[in-house]
Amino acid sequence: MNETDKNWLTDHFSQHVLFDEPMWRHTTFRIGGPVDAMITARTEQEIRDLVVWAHTKGHPIMIFGAGSNLLVLDGGVRGIVLKLADEFEAIHFMPRVNGTGAVITAGAGVLVRQLGKYALDRGLAGLNFTLGIPGTVGGALRMNAGAWGECVADSIISIRVINRYGDIADISRDQLKFSYRRLDLEKDTIILNGRIKLKRADREALRQEAIRMQKRRRLNQPLSLPSAGSVFRNPPGQKAAGELIDQAGLKGLRVGEAEVSTKHANFIVNNGQAKASDVIDLIRQIQKTVFERFGVNLEPEVTIVGQEAHS
């Protein structure tokens, strides 16, 4: 990124652009090299202006939420990392006419657990599973996030997106292609918000369910150390990834300060100053061992971005 490009970004985003910003400051893994430019956009018009300019200049844009489910390599990210704020952090509530539920519109920058609490406080069922998910609505939609047998796709009505040319569109549920931990979208599409339909339920029953879910999560997941959440997808028709890794005897396996959690084998934790290269080495060792023991190819669920550091 040359000085002319940096000047354009500074002119348009002022204090809301950071150059050579270390990504480890922004990810739940506390790992990652610098990004060329990190920009916080607050309106659709700002995003439209940015994506059109970046497409013309050939600068890739990576949308960035809460930094969970993400491993940024030690060499950092070339191009632009885009964060969404202000109008993209709003939740709008619309009761249904018959009083049986509501439609919620949540900006892509809303924290998923915040959305879950918003629904819980209003006695709306269908989002309790999100209370333990450390991400944003945009990321949850793109990953079709889920837990406890439920997922985002179960309640979505539509999403609002912008493409690389600055065109904005609303896409209805019947046009969305959800699958396990995935939503297929055209390359470089940015999610702006999602509309969700929820039903009314007994508020106290929902609260008790949420307490049980959170208690189980605290017991079974290594929440006291930095991580990116589940590292591998659960293979179809097989035991869960964590169970396979555990049975392969890999709990506690370390490379540098990255470690396979002794609490939940599908988590890799950062014990202090772990590098992305340490995590990548662990991922490869896990995949190799599990395949040799069980004949199962584990596919990463964590998103890996950026480039390796030069030696």
* Catalytic annotation, residues: 181, 230, 301
Tokens standing for residue 148: 């406890």
Query: Which residue carries 């918000």 as its tokens?
Result: 193
Report phi then psi at 225, rounded to 5. -120, 150
End-to-end C-alpha distance for the chain, whole angstroms = 22
Query: Which residue carries 């599908």 as its tokens?
Result: 266
HSE-CB at 5 with a 13 A cutoff on CA atoms is: 16
Q: Which helix H or strand E contains 35, and what residues bound it? A: strand 34-41
| Residue 168, beta-bridge partner list | 162
Q: How many residues does the chain have?
A: 311
Tokens standing for residue 204: 């106290």
Query: Which residue carries 């204090």 as its tokens?
Result: 15
Q: Which helix H or strand E contains 12, and what residues bound it? A: helix 3-13
Quote the radius of gyration of the chain (alpha carbons, Å): 20
- In terms of Cα–Cα distance, which of 3, 22, 80 is closest to 46? 80
Please state, as a whole number, how many other Cβ atoms lie within 10 Å of the Cβ of residue 297. 10
Query: What single-letter amino acid sits at 124?
Result: L
Tokens standing for residue 264: 């939940």
Tokens standing for residue 138: 């945009």
Report phi then psi at 49, rounded to 5. -60, -45
